Amino acid sequence: MIQIIGLKKMPLVKEGDNIGDLIVKAAKQDGVQLENDDVIVVAQKIVSKAEGNVVNLASVVPSPLAERIAKMSDKDPRHVEAILKETKSIVRMREAHLIVETHHGLVCANAGVDRSNIDGEESVVLLPVDPDRSAREIRARIRKLTGVDLGVIVSDTFGRAWRIGQVNVAIGVDGLKAIADYRGSKDMFGHVLNVTQMAVADELASAAELVMRKSDGIPVAIVRGFDYPKGSGSARDLIRPREEDLFR
């Protein structure tokens, strides 16, 4: 059996906070004992806030391109400028939709740049600069404080091609492999499996979202009891190289 436990006592996160510290403290207040082989899923937004990866829109001067896109897409031109700064290439652009490849190689709407309101200022929250590193730091901190060895996923909420609605996916991974690779494995009848590579880090992120979704007050969830593929993983393993991708 797998359990998914939302941490209810996470405080509001501000720049300079240590997410590992906050998780350990919130787990204690919630009466949850962290265990070896847990997977902790952390919403990208609090990671970016802690890392100060937030831009006050008052400080943004939109480029002429951002102005033109904003006019087509009904967005604030300063928001568009922040998106373009995080963009390596534009994958699709139509009306309100701007699907891009980010500097990390992630393909998502608006480069993952969300509007926010922090202390009364109109701001945007960017994705973490290096979400794998963010996951690594959280994991190391929890291990230092508790001695517990677990996996950490930094998650964000992405749309998909062909399907309506968003799902949580893994954008940063540490302490587990992002992909469970069954290539060459056989099923119980001795036949080679049809399904060969499962994106377990994305499935863990989606599972965690089921307890996170209700409120911004639950940005951290623990998935317990999943026998995940051990090893050194990276969310980069989930990114299909452009030359192998039939959809950009």
Of 104, 92, 119, nearest to 154 by C-alpha is 104
The residues of the shown chain that bind its own copies, judged by CB under 8 A, are: 1-6, 92, 94, 97, 99, 107, 114-117, 157, 160-169, 178-180, 187-189, 191, 194-195, 197-200, 202-204, 206-207, 209-211, 213-217, 223, 226-227, 237-240, 245-248
For residue 108, the minimal CB distance to its own copies (Å) is 9
Q: With respect to its own copies, which residue has the nearer C-beta, 144 or 240?
A: 240
Q: With respect to its own copies, which residue has the nearer C-beta, 105 or 145?
A: 105
User: Which residues fall within 8 angstroms of residue 75, CB to CB, at 6 or more apart?
Assistant: 69, 96
For residue 135, the minimal CB distance to its own copies (Å) is 17
Q: With respect to its own copies, which residue has the nearer C-beta, 136 or 177?
A: 177
Q: With respect to its own copies, which residue has the nearer C-beta, 189 or 231?
A: 189
Of 183, 176, 181, nearest to 235 by C-alpha is 176
CA distance 48 to 54: 7
For residue 100, the minimal CB distance to its own copies (Å) is 11
Of 187, 174, 147, nearest to 236 by C-alpha is 174
Of 170, 234, 238, 159, nearest to 208 by C-alpha is 170
Q: With respect to its own copies, which residue has the nearer C-beta, 138 or 208?
A: 208
CA distance 223 to 65: 43
For residue 157, the minimal CB distance to its own copies (Å) is 5
Q: On the CB side of 63, how many CA atoms lie within 13 Å of its CA?
A: 9
For residue 118, the minimal CB distance to its own copies (Å) is 9
